[in-house]
Amino acid sequence: MEKALEYALRHQEEFISQMEDLLRIPSVSTDPAHKQDVIDAADWLVSHFKGLGFETAEAIPTEGHPIVFAEMAVDPALPTVLVYGHYDVQPPDPLELWDSPPFEPVRKGNLIYARGAADDKGQVFMHLKAVEAYLKTGTALPVNLKYMIEGEEENGSTHLPGFIKANEERLAADVVLVSDTALFGPGVPSITYGLRGLAYVEVTLTGPDRDLHSGIYGGAIENPVNALARLIAGLHDEHHRVTIPGFYDNVIDLTPEEREGLGALPFDAAEWARDVGVDHMTTEAGYTALEGATARPTLDCNGIWGGYTGEGAKTVLPSKASVKISCRLVPNQTPEEITEKIRLYFERHTPKSMKLSFRDLHGGYGVLVDTKSPAMSSAQDAMEAVYGMKPFFVRGGGSIPVVADFKKLLGLDTVLMGFGLDSDAIHSPNESFGIDRFQEGIQSIIRFLKLYGAS
Amino acid sequence: MEKALEYALRHQEEFISQMEDLLRIPSVSTDPAHKQDVIDAADWLVSHFKGLGFETAEAIPTEGHPIVFAEMAVDPALPTVLVYGHYDVQPPDPLELWDSPPFEPVRKGNLIYARGAADDKGQVFMHLKAVEAYLKTGTALPVNLKYMIEGEEENGSTHLPGFIKANEERLAADVVLVSDTALFGPGVPSITYGLRGLAYVEVTLTGPDRDLHSGIYGGAIENPVNALARLIAGLHDEHHRVTIPGFYDNVIDLTPEEREGLGALPFDAAEWARDVGVDHMTTEAGYTALEGATARPTLDCNGIWGGYTGEGAKTVLPSKASVKISCRLVPNQTPEEITEKIRLYFERHTPKSMKLSFRDLHGGYGVLVDTKSPAMSSAQDAMEAVYGMKPFFVRGGGSIPVVADFKKLLGLDTVLMGFGLDSDAIHSPNESFGIDRFQEGIQSIIRFLKLYGAS
């Protein structure tokens, strides 16, 4: 294994340059205009796997974007690790806030700037380079390896559950390994044992059947923008708690032990706030900022629009107003339940003079993983060897719905060993990934495979 | 005068075709991209005046768009009428809702569809054709005539008050005549004796300094879209009254006589609602729909935007959210006072973790005109002769701020004799004007000039 670790260090420059090729492909899965780019990214990965000597590597078509599957079976007696990741990326908007074009990777010191650098192309690519390090140095692979890399993670992973169901045998494994989460902080390793789920909806209120002159109708026609604002305002109380009836019914609250563990983390809420330009965090009453951001359910407006939004003053009484709303969920809330509760809230409160249109955009389940399994121990030990300190067990505030699917459909636990940082600005302009963490990730994966193979 | 009336009837087809040339010029005053088009519209009018035999006709440059001034002095002993109108138009957005391109006039039966057809190019053009009818038939003009036609009415008439102040003598007159309002209904003439003012602002709340991943920060960072919605919701109470402290302090309420007059109008609120696709009107408690839309102050959101508004689900916690808000004002509210009160409201309620940006976009004063003056009587009689019924005195819900300026700066009352209809859809897609009303307008103006000259 030492040879593999050294190989990865020696070939870092080459690895980075290959990763940049992948980052240049604008594989925005939510935007139909980028359909071919998404296919190109899948094909790029397949051809890279083949270049590493994989006999089984293909881009499998779905009703949506293709799923890349690759496999290297060495010995049925060895455990099998299924690596999951995604090669699609978030839309780059708002474009004008990027310092360099999102799909032209730029290196500045330790950082590589590009959409997808950290989420998740860079982290997926670490897994390809870790196995390359074994293969090119003639080091025996300590596990059987399968890779399933999808192209719809940023678009609700719509076709993934169906694919998993239809391919149970092909995907059979002992554990799932995912790098799509973050370190707790620079140089502070962590393993994520909890993830939040998601319920994402779009709501439109329509009043008059066209935009009206506010001088003719203002004062006699209820305004959809004002009405929508009122409905949104009613979603929270003054304690920053969600007021939708039954919203918290199924929430598993933090245990005293978990709160103690989270409280012991080297976390400075004031600094975290400063990093994003606000002077303090604002959290549901009774919880710390870290708890609020990782272990409590939320409701946020993701976007709002209606009426005249151009330059200057147009005196229009808008015909309609729309909002995208998403909730981060925690076990045992379900996206179906919460989506339905949001729908009922809007149905109940839509003014009688307006029509409500409600779209369920997507959802996913939250998850909590047993921290005491052999795979979790191997991950802990691998990262401790790389970072010189035991990783913290943390909860992640984001959603990787497929982790719940792996449990439900394949009976598999997932090890979330991620190397991002909050400062990577994923989903924001100027997303980046650190070259140091790219290397630490490869080293950790090489070690994990060895430790888990022997466990 | 009979010859002039006949001339107008005989030349209607030619008049309409000329008006279509004017409607083809996309003189959108709020959009810098249309700067040259606005100039072209001004030049078109000047050249048309010259073609009618006006020696004084020019497009006078301002810091903004030019003001067209034309004059025909016949006898210092006769009264002077100053005609005011505007040749600029509202933006045509949303373009996709037009059945035909907004700047390619289309005739369907009695209606001409184009942006500006009713507001105000078509109505301005009636005045040019009325004087043409006198001039081309050798009928002696019964008054001296001045025309001031501006290009910034839809953009706050920013440079008009300064122009009026600087040109007091040039604009000296006995009364102002304006056609930029509507008939009470088809075939039901009316004269507007009250107009509402306007205060128009734009508010932006900024939280984090960039869009954030709602999975990382959701639950710990206050969301500008949710916060803005809460602030907007707080602007009204459940009785549809504006809650801003002091908002109603200076309102002159309707007199019992006025309420009786408005109550006697042939007005069907239910039908009015149906016409715009809603099942009922919604008005400040204690007032009828007509009162609410014409004689009571309002607060409406004209547009709102923030975060991700494209297709699909982007799990972003937005950095900022913005809203355009305008209030229709009634005497004696002032735009300065109301703008300041809105500003104070937002300052007081902006969350501590956010920054407030507040822009005053524009404003104008409401107005009430004495219904007993000689000019008002002449207008009443002129319209009665054309329509066969005495016009109603009504209040208009829109804003023509310059009417207050005429009073304040020139000491002049304004006669608002308009020929639009609510169904003209001004400021909306598929704006139109009726050829019948275009002719009725010309006939009424010809008669008004005669009656007023003799009064």
Question: Residue B364's pLDDT is what?
Answer: 87
Question: Residue B156's pLDDT is what?
Answer: 83
CATH tag, A2-195+366-454: 3.40.630.10
* A220 contacts on B by Cβ (under 8 Å): 269, 272, 281-283, 289-290, 292-293
* B322 contacts on A by Cβ (under 8 Å): 309
Which of A276, A301, A426 lies closest to B226 in CB terms?
A301
How far apart are the C-alpha atoms of B337 and B250, rounded to whole Å?
10
pLDDT by residue (tens digit) across A20-37?
999 999 999 999 999 999
Query: Three-state secondary structure along chain A?
Result: CHHHHHHHHHCHHHHHHHHHHHHCCCCECCCHHHHHHHHHHHHHHHHHHHHCCCCEEEEECCCCCCEEEEEECCCCCCCEEEEEEECCECCCCCHHHCCCCCCCCEEECCEEECCCCCCCHHHHHHHHHHHHHHHHCCCCCCCEEEEEEECCHHHCCCCHHHHHHHCCCCCCCCEEEECCCECCECCECEEEEEECEEEEEEEEEECCCCCEEHHHHCCCCCCHHHHHHHHHHCCECCCCCECCCCCCCCCCCCCHHHHHHHHCCCCCHHHHHHHCCCCCCCCCCCCCHHHHHHCCCCCEEEEEEEECCCCCCCCEECCEEEEEEEEEECCCCCHHHHHHHHHHHHHHHCCCCCEEEEEEEEEECCEECCCCCHHHHHHHHHHHHHHCCCCEEEECCCCCCHHHHHHHHHCCCEEECCCECHHHCCCCCCCEEEHHHHHHHHHHHHHHHHHHHHC
Say whether pLDDT at A453 is over 90: yes
Please, are residues B97 and B90 in contact by the beta-carbon 8 Å criterion? Answer: no
Average pLDDT over residues A308-329: 96
Say whether pLDDT at A261 is over 90: no
Residue A400 or residue B53, greater confidence? B53
Please, are residues B311 and B209 in contact by the beta-carbon 8 Å criterion? Answer: no
Looking at CATH, the fold of the domain delimited by B197-251+297-363 is given as Alpha-Beta Plaits (3.30.70)
Picking from A261, A75, A63, the residue whose alpha carbon sits closest to that of residue A163 is: A63
Which of B235, B324, B398 lies closest to A308 in CB terms?
B324
* A424 contacts on B by Cβ (under 8 Å): none
Identify the H or E element spanning B303.
strand B300-307
Q: How high is the mean pLDDT in each 10-residue block of chain B (455 residues)?
A: 97 98 97 97 98 97 97 97 98 94 97 98 98 97 98 92 96 97 91 94 97 93 98 98 98 93 91 93 96 97 97 94 97 96 98 97 90 94 96 89 90 96 92 98 98 95
ipTM above 0.85, yes or no: no
Average pLDDT over residues A278-305: 97
Q: What is the DSSP letter of B32?
A: G
Q: Chain A residue with minimal CA distance to B155?
A: A313
Residues with Cβ < 8 Å from A369, sequence gap 6 or more? A193, A194, A376, A403, A413, A414, A415, A416
Identical fold for domains A2-195+366-454 and A199-251+297-362, yes or no, is no
Question: Residue A400's pLDDT is what?
Answer: 81
Side chain identity at residue A361, one-letter code: L
Which of B182, B296, B308 lies closest to A93 in CB terms?
B308
Question: Residue B412's pLDDT is what?
Answer: 96
How far apart are the C-alpha atoms of B31 and B97, rounded to whole Å?
19
Which of B93, B209, B293 lies closest to A220 in CB terms?
B293
Residues with Cβ < 8 Å from A2, sequence gap 6 or more? none
Query: Three-state secondary structure along A417-448?
Result: CCCECHHHCCCCCCCEEEHHHHHHHHHHHHHH
According to DSSP, the β-strands at A414-416 and A175-178 are parallel
pLDDT mean across residues, chain A: 96
B194–chain A nearest CA distance, Å: 12
- CATH class of the region A199-251+297-362: alpha beta
* B301 contacts on A by Cβ (under 8 Å): 223, 225-226, 229, 306-307, 318
A272–chain B nearest CA distance, Å: 10
Say whether pLDDT at A375 is over 90: yes
In angstroms, what is the C-alpha Rg of chain A?
Answer: 23
Which of A91, A182, A293 lies closest to B314 in CB terms?
A91
Residues with Cβ < 8 Å from B403, sequence gap 6 or more? B176, B178, B195, B367, B369, B414, B416
Contact across the interface for A353 and B282, Cβ inside 8 Å = yes
Q: How confident is the model at residue A398 (pLDDT cuts 50, 70, 90)?
A: confident
Indicate the domain borders of chain A. 2-195+366-454, 199-251+297-362
Q: How confident is the model at residue A237 (pLDDT cuts 50, 70, 90)?
A: very high
Question: Residue B57's pLDDT is what?
Answer: 98
Per the DSSP assignment, residues forming a β-bridge with B393 are B191
Question: Residue B218's pLDDT is what?
Answer: 95
pLDDT by residue (tens digit) across A146-205?
999 999 999 988 999 999 999 999 999 999 999 998 998 899 999 999 999 999 999 999
Chain A interface test: which of B202, B225, B238 (most A C-beta within 10 Å): B225
Chain A interface test: which of B314, B367, B432 (most A C-beta within 10 Å): B314
Task: Give ∠ CA A184-A189-A191 in degrees, rounded to 5.
Answer: 80
